[in-house]
Structures are given as structure tokens and as C-alpha cells.
Structure 1
Amino acid sequence: MSGYQLLSLRIGPLAPLGPRCVESGIRKKQVHEPLRLSALGFEGDMQGDRERHGGPEKAVHHYPFDHYSKWNDDLGGHQMLEEPGAFGENLSTVGITERSVAVGDVVSLGSAIVEVSQGRQPCWRLNERSGRKSMAHEVQSTGRTGWYYRVLQEGVVEPDAHLALIERKSSEWTLARIWRAFYVDTLNVEELRGIAAITSLADSWRSYAVRRLDSGKVEDWSRRLNGNPGR
């Protein structure tokens, strides 16, 4: 990850989403002026569910625009795929994906410095956003999830800022490799032990690996992917 220019810098206010009219900031709009980036995210960017979205380990969401052509093929075209922002991303780029990005990658972004903390776990809000009941499950099953950064140094990010790699702490642990361990080869003990030992991985993700090692079972994803119709 070196010298990749932002294709789009985006933030979103809270607004009712889908038939449930749940408050969400997933509809992010492109901005054309520099934004302040703090430990909790970009100024003006909102999350409807602070318990599961945002926070220090998920301050910035990055989604590769590279995936959009594949989604267009899969979905037969969709209005939300006409420009970046379909997946609630703050950052859109071309040229870097989950296969080339690793947990613990430290990156300069404008005058800020950020670190890859975890992959994105899609939730049912993507179903509401797309009008497609299986969208969150499809994002998870394809591995086209995007990822999050924690903020190591607050700063200002311009709409045409470049991302440049400063340090790689665990280059072997790409997001694609961790995705495979979590969602494909789900009880591979050696992979789970390795994931549990990645100190730069978000604690919540390390705990998934620890719990699987202890229980020998995979957690139930249905509520996250499908939501609770009663809410």
C-alpha cells in the first residue's frame, strides 16, 4: 500500500434506513473539503448503533472500489453501485484489496496516521441499504468486506489524499487469510492460534479465535446478518 490516491472521501449523517426506518449513517456522501480525523472517526460522520459500529477500533471504514465491477456482475447492475459509497465506506480506492492489506499495516493518510485493525463484519443494515435480503451474507461469503482502521495520530485528510504504507507488523496475516479462517476453514486450530496471537488485531476479533479454540464451535452469525425483525 504505497501512494494510492483516494477515489472518494465520504461521511454520512444519521437518517432513517429501509422499511424499518432504523437510524443509520451508512448513506455516506462524498466531501470536497479537508476533514478532521480524530480517534473516533471523521468529523461529521455518524453511526446509528454505537455499540456495534464506530469506536476506536472501527474509526474509519475502507472499501475497495475494485470490488464494484464484481458486484455489478453478481447483482446484474444496481443503482447503489453507480458510485462509491454503496457499502458505507469512508475511503474508496483502486488498487488495494483484502489480499494485499494485512492487520497491523500502519498507513499515513493526509496528516493522520492510521492502522488496520480488523476486517469488516457485514450486518443486516446492508440488506436494508440494498433492498436485498441476502446482501450481508453475500458480502461475508465473498470476502469482499473491506476493513477498518484505528487512528494512531489524529490529523486532517484532504479529499485527494494519498495512502502510504509506513510499517508492516504482520504481513503474513492479510485480511483475506483471516477471512478464510473465520468464514471458510472455520475450525483450523493452527490458524486460530495464530490469529489469537496477533497483538495488532482488534480485541473483539482475537476473542473470536480464542472462543473457538476453547469451545470447538463456530458462533451463530444469523442475527448479525439477518437482523431482528422485532427491532
Structure 2
Amino acid sequence: MNLVSVNVGMPKTVEHLGRKVSTGIFKSPVDGRVMVRKLNVDGDGQADLTVHGGVYKAVYAYDLENILYWQRVLDRDDIGFGHFGENFTVEEMPDDRIHIGDVFRVGSALLEVTQPRVPCFKMEMKMDLPGFSRQFITSGRLGFCFRVLEEGEVGAGDEIELITTGPGKITVWDFARLYFFDYDNLEKIRRLIRIPAVPPDWVRVFEEILTSSGEKRLTRMPQ
């Protein structure tokens, strides 16, 4: 596993369907080494902090094979590093092999996988493809977010070392499927929300699914 590219960009305002939209999805590769901090990567920013960024989404990673896949499927040559708003373009880290709660050493930073990426209309705007969010979700190629356990420097070419495998053995794709498609799998939902790395907001979402299915509300110790 390797870090192929580090991508950053500050929010900017663009025209979309007759209105102005502020977005941080436009990111470009940077040279040299960059500090990864608790809330983001140096030089990077998010426009809407209610849905992007923060402690549990400080860094977004997307696999190189996914980028190559979209180049082929969409027959486009404008899709490169950072195109999906990812901070890290990585290699050999597909959604169905990375677990929630996995901890990795990247450069001198220590990072923990917390959740899959959930697309919004800004991705469709960036891609200029209405309805692309659905295609993105069903592809199983969402990428994932990191929480920063230890701040540190990273750079393209760094090896990504697995330090600890997440408890519960729930992959990023498992998590996404439980939310979008497989919400009747109550046993796996119970396993998911017991993983300490899962953000509190997501725990509440899945507890509501359990409650609506007649399950007793589950709780865990606060992080």
C-alpha cells in the first residue's frame, strides 16, 4: 500500500444551475511533504463543515484503481489525482479490503479509518453528470475517511503501513451497504456501531434503523 498523491485545495465559489455554490471539492496534487493535522491537511479546506471535514473526516482517501476505473467506464481523460476531492490518492486500498477502525502509519502520521465517503450534489456538479451520485454509490468505489490519531508529515511515495486491524471486521463497503442497501442486516449493524472508530453521528443513524426494526436501543461509552 502506498500514498500516490497528496491533494489539497481551498474552497471556491462556482456557478451551478443558476446559483453560486461554495465548494472545496477542487483539489490538486502538491509537491514535497505536507503536515496532516487533526482537522485537515495543510493547504486544504472545506466549504461546508456540517458535512465535510472535522475530526472524523480530516482526510479523505481514494484508491488509484478507482480513478482508472472511472476513466474507463466514463471514457474520460480529465479524471486524475484529486478529481473526486480526495486528499490522498492511495494504492491497493479498495473499499472491500479496508476495515472500519483500521489504523495506518503514513509518513509520521497515524490515521484511523472511520467511514465511507457519502457523495453529494457537488460531486455531480464537479463531474458534470446529473445522477452520478447513484452510480458512484452502486460502484462500491466510495473511498474512506481518516481520523488523525497522531499529526505528522506525509508525501507522495510514502508507504502506508497497517498497524492495527479494526475490530468487528466490517469493511468500508460493508458500512456503505448497511446504510444504502443492506439495512435489514441487524446483526452486522450491531457489530458496526460497537466499533469505537465509528463517528457518533453515524451511531445515531444506525441506532434509529435498529429502533425502527424493533431492536432495543444500543449505547456505547462516549469517545
Fold agreement, TM-score > 0.5: yes
Alignment correspondent of 1:78: 76
The alignment status of 1:152 with 2:168, answered yes or no, reads no
Match runs of 1:49-128 below 5 Å: 49-75=48-74, 77-81=75-79, 83-128=80-125
Q: C-alpha displacement at 1:79, in angstroms?
A: 4.2
Aligned counterparts of 1:212 and 1:88: Cα–Cα separation in 2: 29
Q: 166, 170, 194: which is aligned to 1:173?
A: 170
* SS at 1:117 equivalent: strand
1:13-40 CA deviation, whole Å, 9 max, x = no partner? Answer: 1112352331111110100021111100
Moved more, 159-168 or 55-64: 159-168
- Partners of 1:142 and 1:78 lie apart in 2 by 17
Q: Is contact 1:26-1:88 (8 Å) kept?
A: yes
Q: 1:187 pairs with 184, 188, 196, which one?
A: 184
Secondary structure at the aligned position of 1:7 is classed as: strand
C-alpha contact 2:168 2:191 (8 A) present in aligned 1: no
Asked if the contact 2:60/2:88 (under 8 Å) is kept, the reply is: yes
Q: What is the deviation of 1:189?
A: 1.6
Q: Where does the alignment leave 5 or more consecutive residues of structure 1 unmatched?
A: 218-231
Name 2:160's counterpart in structure 1: 163
How many equivalent pairs are there?
212
**Which residue in 1 is equivalent to 2:135?**
138
Residue identity matched to 2:183: T
SS across alignment from 2:78 = helix
Counterpart for residue 26 of structure 1:
25
Q: CA deviation at 1:48?
A: 0.5
CA contact 2:98–2:172 (8 Å) conserved in 1: yes
**Letter in structure 1 aligned against 2:175:** I
Other-structure match for 1:229: none
Whole-angstrom CA distance in 2 between matches of 1:190 and 1:126:
32
TM-score by length of 1: 0.86
Distance 1:193 1:65 in 2: 32
Instruction: State the identity %.
Output: 29
Cα shift at 1:59: 0.2
Secondary structure at 2:162 match in 1: strand
What's the TM-score once normalised by structure 2's chain length? 0.89
- Corresponding residue of 1:197: 194
SS in 1 for 2:97: coil
